[in-house]
């Protein structure tokens, strides 16, 4: 038999903390990155039960782990166990990437960077001076809203099924980043005006995700225009009903696959200090698409 030498006493360790973790493709992504870049690192998923988070974080800190990712449902709870969270992560109210530096744990949020990098890569457009409609007021919406406000958007028109959550998020952004958020209601006529004047429309909710692919977060008819860029954080299906409707109207559409990919890339760059060249990123991204079971 051949001796398996992939893991030795010199192999550096990375992990994913969450529950569940069985569905995650982060191990495939990060282990493929390490193989591609000839890095002696291994990434393992750790299913953590409720109440054990502090114990697990303490163990990861004591053991020889370079860092770890954090996924549902611990992105907010993890913050109290971290020695120092970045200002951006604090504003976003969530940490999904942790790095150990000289025995201390530092918390980052790479979701927003993944979104920003994906958006600019796939559209060639930046956010400065743009008017954005943001659908949803959950954790993903908060991360994206902070990023948009910090990158100079002119206005964020925020709409969510629960208006109170929208108001709370608007206060966070307006008071701590930039006064650019205005709250709307789906049934409000002025919301139609907000869409009409917008440059970018972003869905951060799970409405339309597989298997409920016939759902759509905006039920207004004929609301999309050719000048719109419509971004859906969902990547399965490749084209949600929202994106199909926008595409039919001539709008440019982008799904969330790039966001998923680039948030992982940014985490890997934080852990290793490496900066991946664009040519190599394209090769990795093309391979990454093949491991996803996405629906057309």
pLDDT, tens digit, for every residue of 195-218?
999 999 999 999 999 889 999 999
Work out the percent of the chain whose per-residue pLDDT is above 70: 98
CATH number assigned to the domain with residue range 12-109+258-290, chosen from the 4 options 3.90.850.10, 1.20.120.420, 3.40.50.11400, 3.40.50.10860: 3.40.50.10860
- Taking alpha carbons only, the member of 193, 289, 282 closest to residue 236 is 289
Of residues 117, 61, 163, 119, the one with CA closest to residue 263: 117
What is residue 294's predicted lDDT score, i.e. its pLDDT?
Answer: 52
User: First-to-last CA distance in the chain?
Assistant: 42
Which residue intervals of the chain bear CATH 3.40.50.720? 113-255
Neighbour count for residue 221 (Cβ, 10 Å):
7
Question: Nearest CA to 202 among 247, 173, 233, 174?
Answer: 233
Active-site residue identified among 75, 99, 239, 241: 75
237, two tokens: 């299906």
- In this prediction, residues 103-124 reach a mean pLDDT of 95
The confidence band for 188, taking pLDDT boundaries of 50, 70 and 90, is confident
Report the predicted TM-score, pTM, of the whole model to 2 decimal places: 0.89
| Greatest C-alpha distance within the chain | 71
Mean pLDDT in residue range 134-146: 95
pLDDT tens digit sequence for 264-295 = 999 999 999 998 888 888 888 888 887 765 54
Residue 4 binned pLDDT confidence (cut-offs 50, 70, 90): confident
Question: Which pLDDT score, from 0 to 100, does residue 251 have?
Answer: 97
Which residue ranges does the chain devote to CATH 3.40.50.10860? 12-109+258-290
Other CB atoms within 10 A of residue 240 CB = 28
The question of whether 75 is a catalytic residue gets the answer: yes
**Which CATH code for domain 113-255?**
3.40.50.720
The mean pLDDT value of the chain amounts to 93
Q: Which two tokens stand for residue 226?
A: 């050719």
Residue 71 confidence class, pLDDT cut points 50, 70, 90: very high
């Amino acid at each position: 038999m051949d001796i398996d030498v992939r893991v030795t006493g010199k192999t550096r360790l990375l992990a994913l903390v969450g529950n569940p973790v069985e569905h995650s493709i982060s191990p495939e992504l990060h282990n493929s990155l390490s193989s591609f870049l000839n890095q002696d690192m291994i990434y393992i998923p750790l299913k953590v039960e409720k109440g054990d988070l502090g114990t697990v974080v303490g163990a990861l800190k004591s053991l020889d782990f370079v860092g770890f990712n954090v996924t549902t449902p611990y992105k907010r709870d993890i913050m109290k166990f971290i020695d120092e969270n970045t200002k951006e992560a604090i504003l976003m109210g969530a940490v999904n990437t942790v790095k150990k530096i000289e025995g201390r744990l530092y918390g980052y949020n790479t979701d927003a960077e993944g979104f920003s990098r994906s958006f600019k890569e796939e559209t060639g457009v930046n956010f400065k001076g743009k008017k954005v409609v943001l659908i949803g007021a959950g954790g993903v919406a908060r991360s994206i809203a902070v990023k948009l406000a910090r990158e100079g958007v002119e206005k964020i028109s925020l709409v969510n099924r629960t208006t109170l959550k929208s108001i709370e998020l608007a206060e966070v952004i307006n008071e701590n980043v930039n006064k650019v958020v205005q709250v709307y209601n789906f049934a409000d006529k002025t919301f139609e005006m907000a869409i009409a004047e917008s440059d970018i429309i972003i869905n951060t909710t799970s409405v339309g995700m597989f298997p409920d692919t016939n759902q759509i977060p905006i039920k207004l008819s004929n609301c999309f225009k050719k000048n719109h860029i419509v971004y859906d954080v969902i990547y399965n299906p490749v084209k949600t009903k929202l994106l199909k409707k926008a595409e039919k109207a001539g709008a440019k559409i982008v799904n969330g696959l790039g966001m998923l990919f680039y948030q992982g890339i940014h985490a890997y760059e934080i852990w290793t200090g490496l900066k991946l060249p664009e040519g190599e990123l394209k090769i990795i991204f093309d391979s990454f698409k093949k491991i996803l079971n996405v629906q057309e």
